[in-house]
């Protein structure tokens, strides 16, 4: 599995985990400040020890401020001032705390890497490492070389972890925006079709009514002919609009599955869909198309899913179709999949890709209740349950067309 495929499963939960992991490591590494503090308190006079304590604590405080804000992807006009103060503290700490200050020598390179951008970050990272090595060489060359190498590896690893967490958050935001753009694109497509259908006819109607208003009263026959032609144009326009709307609303199971897969994968949800039997009747296929749309809408609006599975299990003359996802939210938050208030209208996930993660209040479970009614009309039923963080919508439908609907080669009913 390639890296791009792995990133398809990135969702809000993955972003939170990456940020928490980076934050725990960054805060935990602050414990290394205890090494120069203990050495200063045990080996130096009271005045120098107090100075070392103040400098090391100040350095650690600046490190925590900048590192934690970087993990949370927060910015402030004070960050550069804090970074400047941290540089001054780093220059002073070696003279007060002695060679053990290298235990916290990774802090300044790290904050340069996660606070600044571009080549400024790289320049600050390596310049601070070089400065730390230069400040340590007069005391103990072997310790200076070992400590500088350790600081290089530590700062590089922590900076990579922090940047990775922020990139995951940016990826999640980009995918949510892409899902919203898919909705906008679909609306624009429908608007263009309506404009193409109605624009010319309405212009003709406006022109001919204007001309009709100028016809003298004594030419009643000509006026009637104009009105008749205007009436015909209006009826044709109404027919064209109905055709556009019918084509827009007409449900196709294949198109719905393709559109749902595209939108879910754009939103960072990995899809694994099984093939549906070709023997399903048109009515059952339409009902399943609505079911797929409803399931995708609920997944996007009410879950933190990273995986969506569609399974098919034949059972004699029946077929069980399941749609499952791993995004059930903890109780107490917004309604999870299938929970109370999870009946979002199915229009949010159209077969052409119209779905978004917009947060809308769900109303009384009407979406899934409507799905029950659609399946009942074709002799099917549905059930839903939640287990181990997974929500499953299970639909039992007839696997074959009714016998009365089948015809022989001669066209007679069987």
Note whether residue 225 is domain-resident: yes
- pLDDT for 8 equals 57
Note whether residue 407 is domain-resident: no
Q: Are residues 225 and 291 in the same domain?
A: no
Last residue within a domain, chosen from 201, 216, 249: 249
Q: Are residues 17 and 164 in the same domain?
A: yes
Q: How many domains does the chain have?
A: 3
Q: What is the CATH number of the domain that holds 377?
A: 3.30.565.10
- pLDDT for 292 equals 87
pLDDT greater than 90 at residue 201: no
Q: Output the average pLDDT for the chain.
A: 78
- With tokens 């196709």, the residue in question is 252
Note whether residue 209 is domain-resident: yes
Note whether residue 413 is domain-resident: no
Sort strands 307-315 and 270-273 into parallel, antiparallel or unpaired: parallel
Note whether residue 392 is domain-resident: yes
Note whether residue 364 is domain-resident: yes
Q: Are residues 9 and 147 in the same domain?
A: yes
- pLDDT for 196 equals 66
Q: Are residues 153 and 223 in the same domain?
A: no
- pLDDT for 402 equals 59
Q: Are residues 285 and 305 in the same domain?
A: yes
pLDDT greater than 90 at residue 320: yes
- pLDDT for 322 equals 93
Q: Are residues 125 and 51 in the same domain?
A: yes
Judged by average pLDDT, the poorest of 37-46, 118-127, 174-183 is 174-183
- pLDDT for 10 equals 64
Q: Are residues 15 and 142 in the same domain?
A: yes
- What's the chain's length in residues? 414
- Round the CA-based radius of gyration of the chain to a whole number and report it: 33
Note whether residue 154 is domain-resident: yes
Last residue within a domain, chosen from 154, 175, 196: 175
Judged by average pLDDT, the poorest of 56-70, 180-194, 385-399 is 180-194
Q: What is the CATH number of the domain that holds 208?
A: 1.20.5
For 12-24, the pLDDT digits (tens) are: 777 888 888 888 9
- pLDDT for 323 equals 93
Q: Are residues 144 and 203 in the same domain?
A: no
Q: Are residues 110 and 187 in the same domain?
A: no
pTM: 0.49
Residue 100, CB half-sphere, CA atoms under 13 Å: how many?
A: 19
Q: What is the extent of the structural domain holding 386?
A: 253-401
Q: Are residues 85 and 208 in the same domain?
A: no
Mean pLDDT to the nearest integer, 385-390: 88
Torsion angles phi and psi, residue 324, rounded to 5: -130, 150
Q: Are residues 311 and 183 in the same domain?
A: no
Calculate helix-pair angle for 79-97, 107-115, nearest 10 degrees: 170
For 330-363, the pLDDT digits (tens) are: 764 444 454 433 333 333 344 443 433 333 333 3
Which of the pair, 352 or 134, is modelled with greater confidence? 134
Q: 86-95, 199-208, 354-363: which has the highest mean pLDDT?
A: 86-95
Last residue within a domain, chosen from 249, 268, 299: 249
Q: Are residues 280 and 169 in the same domain?
A: no
For 103-132, the pLDDT digits (tens) are: 888 999 999 988 888 889 889 899 988 888
- pLDDT for 131 equals 86
Reported for 182-189, long-range contacts at CB under 8 A and 24+ positions apart, including other chains, are 182/262, 182/263, 182/266, 182/353, 182/354, 182/355, 182/356, 183/348, 183/354, 183/355, 183/356, 185/353, 186/350, 186/352, 186/353, 186/354, 187/354, 189/352
Note whether residue 411 is domain-resident: no
């Amino acid at each position: 599995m390639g890296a791009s495929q792995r990133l398809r499963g990135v969702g809000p939960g993955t972003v939170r985990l990456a940020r928490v992991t980076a934050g725990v490591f960054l805060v935990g590494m602050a414990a290394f400040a205890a090494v120069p503090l203990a050495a200063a308190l045990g080996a130096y006079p009271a005045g120098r020890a107090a100075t070392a304590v103040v400098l090391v604590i100040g350095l650690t405080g600046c490190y925590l401020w900048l590192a934690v804000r970087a993990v949370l992807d927060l910015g402030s006009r004070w960050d550069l001032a804090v970074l400047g103060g941290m540089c001054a503290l780093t220059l002073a700490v070696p003279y007060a705390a002695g060679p053990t200050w290298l235990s916290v020598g990774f802090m300044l390179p790290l904050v340069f890497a996660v606070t600044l951008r571009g080549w400024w970050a790289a320049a600050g990272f390596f310049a601070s490492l070089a400065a730390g090595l230069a400040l340590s060489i007069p005391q103990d060359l072997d310790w200076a070389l070992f400590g500088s190498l350790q600081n290089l590896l530590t700062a590089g690893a922590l900076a990579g972890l922090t940047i990775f967490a922020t990139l995951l958050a940016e990826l999640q935001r980009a995918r949510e925006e892409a899902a919203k753009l898919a909705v906008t694109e679909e609306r624009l497509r429908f608007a263009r079709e309506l404009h193409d259908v109605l624009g010319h006819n309405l212009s003709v109607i406006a022109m001919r009514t204007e001309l009709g208003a100028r016809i003298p009263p004594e030419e009643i026959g000509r006026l009637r002919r104009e009105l008749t032609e205007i009436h015909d144009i209006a009826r044709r326009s109404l027919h064209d609009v109905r055709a556009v709307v019918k084509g827009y609303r007409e449900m196709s199971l294949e198109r719905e599955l393709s559109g749902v897969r595209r939108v879910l994968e754009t939103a960072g949800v990995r899809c694994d869909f099984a093939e549906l039997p070709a023997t399903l009747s048109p009515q059952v296929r339409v009902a399943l198309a609505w079911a797929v749309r409803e399931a995708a809408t609920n997944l996007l609006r009410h879950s933190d899913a990273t995986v969506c599975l569609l399974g098919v299990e034949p059972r004699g003359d029946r077929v069980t179709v399941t749609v499952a996802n791993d995004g059930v939210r903890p109780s107490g938050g917004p309604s999870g999949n299938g929970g109370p208030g999870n009946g979002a209208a199915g229009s949010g996930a159209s077969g052409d890709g119209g779905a978004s993660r917009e947060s809308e209040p769900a109303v009384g479970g009407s979406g899934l209740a409507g799905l029950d009614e659609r399946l009942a009309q074709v002799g099917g039923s549905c059930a839903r349950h939640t287990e181990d963080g997974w929500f499953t919508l299970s639909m039992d439908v007839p696997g074959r067309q009714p016998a009365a609907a089948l015809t022989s080669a001669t066209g007679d009913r069987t």
